[in-house]
Amino acid sequence: MKVGLVSPYDFASPGGVTDHVRNLAKALTHIGHPTQIFAPSSRRHTDSDGTTFHRIGTPVAIPVNDSVARITLTFRIANQVQSIVQRERFDVLHFHEPLMPAKPMTLLRLSTTANVGTFHAFSRSNAGYYYGRPLLRPYLERLHRGIAVSEPARTFFSRYFPDFPLRIIPNGIDTSVYRPGLSPIRHLRDDKVNILFVGRLEKRKGLGDLLRAYELMRSRVTNARLIIVGDGPLRGSAESFISRHRLPDVVMAGFVPNFVLPRYYDSADIFCAPATGSESFGIVLLEAMACALPVVATEVPGYMSVLEPGKDSLTVRPKSWAELGAALVILARDPELRRRMGAAGNEKAQRYSWSSVASQVVEVYEEARVAARDLVESNVHNAV
């Protein structure tokens, strides 16, 4: 089966959907389904891990959902898209965030094959979906099957489009890449307890709460170290907070490429995900668990669809930095608890391997192809 994966987001910028598309392409190709990727990119040379990549459009940064989405807004890509679609003759086009302007919508409009959509987003509300329903519905009708990455993502979407069924297929994790026992970043492995944060430095990821929690816990656990991996608009204010409060042992690692990231997980003792909301899943949780790290996270719906508090994690209320600090102290002081939770997380992560996720996605592709064929036949029948 020849598959085209369509992402609306800048492929050169790190992000959950981009990682998902990149890994799904690899997994599909691995099980015998040649896959190509369509996405905008801010760089001319984009690394797509060997998958054929079609750079369509230049992204612009749009503030969405307490974050910044780098998407292409021009609809003048139709000719380029049409020529590729006609030439490549895909069996399935798989759209990620299919109702996101402009590329997925343009491709969806021009597609003559089986269309599958995956919905990743979660939020309290979405004005675009609410007011745009009459405009978006014709596009939605072109999708033959739908997927949500978690129950919160499905609930969120169904609030606006209750008639469109979605099957839940979670994000995957490459357990051969993210695993315990890799070579650590050696200067970070000493007698300190390393707390790791991985994510874009933006408001919704809750780094501010983590910094306050770390300040609180340092008086009780003097041998703690905070490692912050990621870049983003809040980097300056995070650095200024660290400097003003004279927080010791904070490592601002910045953006870390994928080939080094697993080594950061393997250099840490605790993983902390303090998001304030709007997370539909949290791939970073799976990455941490696959590396046998215990997790301290906030109780946002997306995270709770992955975590089992008390077994693989300690969870606290969002934006409650005092609770976050207390949970970090508990884990930092108890190596046996860390080991037990890490082992439980590692066991769970195996269930999310990309091979298992990709085979579920292929099932949906088969269903979509049958549905597309039935639709064509019924249209012909009606015409006759």
Partner 1 sequence: MREWQWRGFKVVQSIVERLPRAWAYALAVFAARFAWWFSPLARPRLEYNLKVACPDASPVEIRRLSWLNFRNHAKAYADLMMLPRTRVVEMRPLMHVEGWEHLEQARAIGKGVMVVSCHMGSYEVTAAIWSSTLAPVTFFAEELEPRPLFEWYRDTRARLGISVLALDLAGLRKVTHALRDNELVITAIDRDITGTGRVMPFFGRPAPIPTGPTALALRMGTPLLPVCVYRLPDDSYKVEGMPLIIAQRSGDDDADELRVTQQLLRQIEEFIRRHPEQWHVPHRIWEGGP
The footprint of partner 1 (CB under 8 A) covers 45, 47, 183-190, 229, 251-257, 259-260, 263
Helices 283-290, 16-30: inter-axial angle, 10-degree rounding:
60
| 154 touches 166 (CB < 8 A) | yes
DSSP 309: B
Kindly tell me which of 18 and 280 has the beta carbon lying closer to partner 1: 18
Map 173-231 to HEC letters.
ECCCCCCCCCCCCHHHCCCCEEEEEECCCCHHHCHHHHHHHHHHHHCCCCCEEEEEECC
Distance CA 181, CA 161 (A): 45
Instruction: Write down the least CB distance from residue 230 to partner 1, Å.
Output: 11
Min. distance of Cβ 263 from partner 1 in angstroms?
Answer: 7
Strands (E), 120-190: 145-148, 167-168
Distance between CA 359 and CA 27 in Å, rounded?
Answer: 9
Smaller CB separation from partner 1, 145 or 200: 200
| DSSP helix/strand/coil, 53 | strand
Nearer to partner 1, 11 or 303 (CB): 11
Question: Using the 8-state DSSP alphabet, how is residue 350 labeled?
Answer: G
**Min CB(241)–partner 1 separation in Å:** 16
Beta-carbon contacts of 74 under 8 Å, excluding residues fewer than 6 positions away, are 57, 102
Between 109 and 189, name the residue whose CB sits nearer to partner 1.
Answer: 189
DSSP state string for 246-274: T--SEEEEE---TTTHHHHHTT-SEEEE-
141: Cβ contacts below 8 Å, ≥ 6 apart? none
Q: Collapsing DSSP states into helix, strand and coil, what is residue 170?
A: coil
The first and second tokens of residue 29, run together, are 């190709």
Residue 43 C-beta: closest distance to partner 1, Å: 9
Distance of closest approach, residue 256 Cβ to partner 1, in angstroms:
5
Distance of alpha carbon 274 from alpha carbon 315, whole angstroms: 9
CB closer to partner 1 out of 124 and 187: 187
Q: Which of 228, 224, 244, 235 is nearest to 331 (CA)?
A: 224
Per DSSP, 352 falls in state G
**Nearest distance from C-beta of residue 342 to partner 1, angstroms:** 21
CB of 253 to partner 1, least distance (A): 5
- Find tokens 């039935």 and name the residue: 374
Which amino acid appears at position 303 of this protein?
Answer: Y
Nearer to partner 1, 253 or 358 (CB): 253
Q: Residue 222 Cβ, how far from partner 1 at the closest point, in Å?
A: 18
CB of 13 or CB of 278, closer to partner 1: 13
Contact in structure between 272 and 197 (CB atoms under 8 Å): yes
Rounded to a whole number of angstroms, the minimum distance from the CB of residue 170 to partner 1 is 29
* Shortest distance, position 271 Cβ to partner 1, whole Å: 18
Measured from the CB atom, the residue of 109 and 179 that comes closer to partner 1 is 179
Nearer to partner 1, 128 or 184 (CB): 184
Per the DSSP assignment, residues forming a β-bridge with 114 are: 92
Nearer Cβ to partner 1, position 61 or 260? 260
